[in-house]
Amino acid sequence: MDTLFPRGEKNEAFKEYFVGQSYLNMLTTTGVAIGNVTFEPGCRNNWHIHHKGGQILLVTNGRG
């Protein structure tokens, strides 16, 4: 599958927030951090709070 955002590396830094394997590709960290998170089939994230501000989610594929 061709994709605008590559899958990235295994998301070890934030694995406590996921059940299953996710991957993180940081697109930029200058100013506002923007990352692409990819979920393997069956992976889900746990509820968590972003204390330093909000979070914007852009879903590009799959179903919830």
pLDDT digit string, tens, across residues 36-61: 999 999 999 998 888 877 787 888 88
Report domain extents, the chain: 1-64
| pTM exceeds cut of 0.85 | no
Distance separating alpha carbons of residues 17 and 4, to the nearest angstrom: 25
Structure token pair of residue 43:
């992976």
Residue among 44, 41, 38 at smallest CA distance from 58? 38
Other CB atoms within a 10 A radius of the CB of residue 38 amount to: 19
pLDDT at 44 (0 to 100): 93
Instruction: Give residue-wise pLDDT tens across range 8-47.
Output: 999 999 999 999 999 999 998 888 888 999 999 999 999 8
Q: What pLDDT band is residue 6 in, cutting at 50, 70 and 90?
A: confident
Question: CB atoms < 10 A from the CB of 11, how many?
Answer: 20
